[in-house]
Amino acid sequence: MAIYPGSFDPITNGHLDLIARASGFVDRLIVGILRNESKHPLFTVAERREMLAQVVSGYPNVVIDSFDGLLVEFAALRGASLIIRGIRAISDYEKELQMALMNRRLRPDIETVFMMASEAHSFISSHLVKEVIRLGGNISGLVPPPVEASLKDRLLKEQALKV
């Protein structure tokens, strides 16, 4: 069993591609949403959970969960022995290596596996997707269609609050 942790604010096609590939080689994949209000997320954990559930419904061995506190403790609590993280570029690797080594020090029995993002998704991040849509750019193909709809809806509300 493996955990794929992240903020998923919101899920992108890069995340989804990784979920699709990882679910093919683990018996069960738990997508773990970090509950962290200090990151000022655009979507609540419940909203992120719902979006994720909608887009992973075709993968029977994928479940959605959320956690706070230490990732390795969450993994241990769920009985997962693998943490899966996606790497897009060398710049991701440095931060990911640091986290993986810290997690190994905390719980040597839990292994981190890095998966390379597909070339088509290697430039996508939740952060950039939000920036592009806020500035009026086209994000189709970068996030699943229901997520694009939720983003448009949320940003329209944001803009309505500003006037």
Give the neighbor-by-neighbor strand order of the sheet with 2-6. 62-67, 29-34, 2-6, 82-87, 111-116
Tell me the per-residue interface mask from 103 to 132 with ligand PNS, x by CB under 6 A, - otherwise.
Answer: x-----------------------------
Q: Is 126 among the catalytic positions?
A: yes
Q: Is 15 among the catalytic positions?
A: yes
Candidates 7, 15, 23, 85; catalytic one: 15
As measured in angstroms, the least distance from the Cβ of 156 to ligand PNS is: 25
Q: Is 134 among the catalytic positions?
A: no
Q: 3-state class of 63 per DSSP?
A: strand
CA-nearest of 21, 41, 29, 39 to 5 is 29
Tokens of 76: 């241990």
| C-alpha distances in Å from residue 63, one per residue of 4, 58, 150 | 10, 11, 21
Return the residue nearest ligand PNS (CB atom).
Answer: 6
According to the binding rule CB under 6 A, does residue 82 interact with ligand PNS? no
Residues in contact with ligand PNS by CB under 6 A are 5-7, 34, 70-71, 99, 102-103
**Any idea which residues carry the catalytic annotation?**
15, 39, 88, 126
